[in-house]
Chains A and B, each alone.
Chain A
Amino acid sequence: MRDDLLDPRAVLLHESAADRDAAVRRCGRALVEIGAVAESYVEAMLERERTISTYVGEGVAIPHGTAAAKEDVERDAICVVRFPGGVDWDGEQVTLCVGIAAKGNGHIPLLAELAEILLDPDRARTLREATEVSQILKELT
């Protein structure tokens, strides 16, 4: 797996968000801050989420932009943003967001690995309850 996709600066473990849109914006901001996407990508992430929920299960959502927003992506990257207080996600409770910026398919092996982790209840819990950036990096890269 590519280990250049997850910048430690884009791992935020003690965030809070009032609602789903605020959580998506926080993820978008994290991707903007590391220079992975242009500001306009954040709106595209919100648009995508309104079209179809990116909730994948195990308290995890994977917000990302619409296909049309690929031109707003400077480089492939992900961010990991944890909301210990939980966020209501169309009736599901989300505690971890893995935000995705992708031009091509470089992030798919990472998503597959993430899904693999989440299919294992113990590893899923480790990820949801992580309080150290190193725990996230160890699981995902």
Chain B
Amino acid sequence: MARRTVAVASASGLHARPAKLFVQAAMGVPAAVTIRAGDKAVPAKSMLGVLSLGAVHGTEVTLEADGPGAEESLDTLAALLARDLDAEDSSHA
């Protein structure tokens, strides 16, 4: 099992737009990734699952995946979580 632990960088946490972008990215990577916050783990492709984590700015989440493409998949998603997606939003508004 490959793992990455990363703190959610988006100012508004992992919900709304940042959550949507994360879920879309999870659908695009080869591995089936699980995202965990505390003792709760959900599929990264599930918008409702991700929202149910209630992750705010700074919450540490762990991404897990197995099998082919696991490492690259985790790298892609961890990099996304480490960016402030809200700030990028403001700059385009």
Contacts and interface: CB of A to CB of B under 8 A. Distances in A.
Contacts of A108: 13, 15, 54-56
B45 to A, nearest CB: 11
B93 A54 contact: no
Interface in A30-55: 47-48, 51-54
A53 B20 contact: yes
A33 B21 CA distance: 31
Task: Say which size band chain B's interface belongs to.
Answer: 20 to 34
Contacts, number: 63
Contacts of B7: none
A119 B54 contact: no
Complex A-B, nearest 4 residue pairs according to Cβ-Cβ distance, in ascending order: A112-B54, A115-B51, A115-B52, A68-B93
Interface of B: 11-13, 15-17, 20-21, 46-57, 86-87, 89-90, 93
Interface of A: 47-48, 51-54, 56-58, 62, 64, 66-68, 100, 102, 105, 108-109, 111-112, 114-116, 118-119
